[in-house]
Amino acid sequence: MTDPRTIAPEMWAPLHPADSAPATSRPSLTYWQDARRRLWANKPAIVALGFIILLILGAIFGPWFSPYSYADQNLKLANIPPAFETYAVDDGQGGTTRFFLNASNFNLYEVDAEGHVLGLLRGGRKDMLKKVQPFTFGATTVTLDYKTLPARLLTADGATISPSGWSWNRTYLFGTDQLGRDVLVRQLFGARISLTVAFVATLVNFFIGIFYGGLAGYIGGRTDAIMMRIVEIISTVPLTLYVVLLMVVFDSGLYSIIIAIGSVFWVDMARIVRGQILSLKSQDYVAAAKTMGAGTGRILTRHLLPNSIGPIIVTLTMLIPSAIFIESFMSFIGLGVTPPLASWGTLTSEAVETMRAYPHQLFFPAAAISLTMFAFNFLGDGLRDALDPRFRK
Amino acid sequence: MPSYILQRLGMMLLTLWAIVTLTFFLMHAVPGGPFVSERMLAPEIAAALNAKYGLDQPIWLQYLSYLKGVLTFDLGPSFKYPGVSINTMIATGLPVTLQTGLLAVICVVALGIPMGIVAALNRNRWPDTAVMMLATIGVAIPSYVIATVLLYVFALRLGWVPTFGLDDWRGYILPVFALSGFWVSFVARLTRSSLLETFEQDYMTTARAKGLRPGQILFKHGLRNSLVPVVTVLGPVVANLITGSFVIEQIFALPGIGRQFVLSITNRDYTAIMGITIFYAAALMVMILIVDLLYAVLDPRIKLSGAKA
């Protein structure tokens, strides 16, 4: 038994530096490092971010690589699907003609072996009574019979020709619309319009909202009460209704819709900013800044706004999909961009007109807008989880 | 309570006045008069038309007479359909919009809340995943896309329901579904998260410790407390069903007010646009007031008073 008051000399031996302080804490991270780490761990949000970046790149650079422009019409090649069943007919002189049948407008289009669309085939006289039309390929004659739907192709002895295979459309990857415009380039152009409207309008909302909400929150008192009453009055009626009214006054077009959305949707942002400022302005560092003689502008821009940036960014990400939605909604009911400009809304409403005969035309704009909305929603959720201090672990 | 209602009514009148003024001056800021058309009118006829509709008077007189009309529930004549008043337009469209809207609200409550409960009770198991996946789809896809896809699949392809009109009960299915899709999903998500939060409260542990039956715990203690935020969104639900009806009524060709409104926009029928906007605003404010009062009835912790929030 040793005396507990004496310390054995070996107990004074210095610890090896490596096993000194056990790692009880992880490296300290700044707010942004932490947020980035948590966003990165959120797989759906990262996939969404990747999709959005791809979409932006496609919208900016995609139309440059296309041989067509969004307004080029080719009425001879209207309503061509993105994939088709091909028929091959031997003309009796050693050559074969490949073509496909558009079962909704009863036209035959010549294609090559890879699936490039070469052109419309000219047939013989249409017999309107019997509902048949002959097509001659050298020595062979094929009859298009559309008495009974779906339309069939018959050989001279009355047998039905069956398709020899199917192929993707290599000339128009997404097919063409009712005026023979390339759907792919119109999609990309639509993305350009929708994203431009969304980003610019959101930016306008951002500045108005920050200015309005920041002032109301910082000044407080009667000014705040009046300013927030105005916001309350504005938001009593659905904001979409104001956009509709403004679009009736302006001529429809790209700039009008940006102004209309930008001048209305700031109220949410103003509310968020005001709430943040209200809770932050009684903090000690604000009092310290005030004591040192900082003016209102400096306190707002240097102290209050940077500290409320998290919720502001989250609101921004949520404003973008709603701006995209409003734009496509307005274009859908005919108040958005003017033809021949394409936006996802106009593309959808054009596709609805031909939905009965060409349902595939509806697929691309509907998928584009749905995927984009998904992406922004996931990204917004991810950012909210990453930037909200309450979720910090 | 009465003073609260009075204050709310005063606020409503002020809001309504602001909206009437805004729409009036917006619609008068539109370049060109209501009778500018492709056919040139003889100056005498134009003058007579202007005199008939009071357009020859100074704008503030027109404003005052319009304001008087709104106060006496007279929204004036339509400029595009002679002899039709805006009141008639609204009266013919209202039943259709009201029916589909009401059914959609019922759908939101009857589908959204149970879906949220199922998801919360089976947290991180397949019913939860399924509900959350459906809800994410419903929140992200715009209503007009849902409507057109539904129309294509169920009306054109399968032929189960008519493509347009409300001649029999099957005609209601698609419009109501498309109209309520977003809010069913939203309410399901909200109910789920709110219920999960409630489950962690101490009184829930107490209820379990007391040995109450699971049904009792869920309905008496859990649901009652977690439905409060759900009731709050019912106001905005009503508001958004109205804007949703613009495009849904258009797609399904339902003769409601939303379609009337879109038609007036395409026709540039300014008095109709003005009148329907004001009607919407008024109807909305009344409904939001009702929801707020309901809210106070449901949640005894909330005391309605004239105090500012």
* Cβ neighbours of residue B267 closer than 8 Å, sequence gap 6 or more: B80
Tens-level pLDDT at each residue, chain B (309 residues):
678 788 888 888 888 888 888 888 888 777 666 666 556 677 777 777 777 777 777 778 888 888 888 888 887 787 777 778 888 888 888 888 888 888 888 888 889 889 988 888 888 888 888 888 888 888 888 888 888 888 888 887 787 877 776 777 777 888 888 888 888 888 888 888 888 888 888 888 888 888 888 787 887 778 877 777 787 777 777 777 776 778 888 888 888 888 888 888 877 788 888 888 888 888 888 887 887 777 777 666 666 554 443
> How far, in Å, CA of A307 to CA of B2, rounded?
42
Task: Report residue A167: phi and psi, to 5°.
Answer: -150, 150
pLDDT for the residue A53: 92
Residue A136 pLDDT grade (very low, low, confident, very high; cuts 50, 70, 90): confident
More confident residue, A296 or A131: A296
What's the average model confidence in pLDDT over A129-138? 72
Q: What ranges do the domains of chain B cover?
A: 94-298
Do residues A257 and A337 lie in contact, with contact meaning Cβ atoms separated by under 8 Å? yes
Q: Tell me if chain B has a CB within 8 Å of the CB of A362.
A: yes
pLDDT for the residue B97: 85
How buried is residue B28: exposed, middle or buried, by Cβ count under 10 Å (0-12/13-18/19+)? middle
Q: How many CB pairs under 8 A join A and B?
A: 101
ipTM here: 0.77
Beta-bridge mates of residue A127: A132
Q: Which chain A residues have a beta carbon less than 8 Å from that of B270?
A: 248
Do residues B142 and B66 lie in contact, with contact meaning Cβ atoms separated by under 8 Å? no
Do residues B133 and B189 lie in contact, with contact meaning Cβ atoms separated by under 8 Å? no
The residue of chain A with its CA nearest to that of B156 is A356
> How far, in Å, CA of A355 to CA of A352, rounded?
5
- Contact check, Cβ <8 Å, B273/A245: yes
- Contact check, Cβ <8 Å, A325/B139: no
Share of chain A above pLDDT 90, in %: 2
pLDDT digits (tens, 9 = 90+) for A140-162: 777 777 777 677 777 777 777 77
Residue A185 pLDDT grade (very low, low, confident, very high; cuts 50, 70, 90): confident
Window A:249-278, CB contacts with B under 8 Å:
249
Tokens 């649901």 -> residue? B223
- Contact check, Cβ <8 Å, A236/B285: yes
- Contact check, Cβ <8 Å, B141/A373: yes
Q: Tell me if chain B has a CB within 8 Å of the CB of A245.
A: yes
DSSP H or E stretch at residue A107? strand A107-111
Q: Tell me if chain B has a CB within 8 Å of the CB of A332.
A: yes
Interhelix angle A309-332/A266-280, nearest 10 degrees:
170
Residue A393 pLDDT grade (very low, low, confident, very high; cuts 50, 70, 90): very low
- Is the pLDDT at A58 greater than 70? The verdict is yes
Top-level class of domain B94-298: mainly alpha
Beta-bridge mates of residue A160: A154
Report the first-to-last Cα separation within chain A, whole angstroms.
47
What's the Cα-to-Cα distance from A299 to each of A209, A245, A272, B228, rounded to whole Å? 17, 38, 18, 38
Task: Output the average pLDDT for chain A.
Answer: 79
Tokens 């698609």 -> residue? B174
More confident residue, B234 or A40: A40
> How far, in Å, CA of B124 to CA of B128, rounded?
6
pLDDT for the residue A50: 92
What's the average model confidence in pLDDT over A260-285? 85
pLDDT for the residue B309: 38
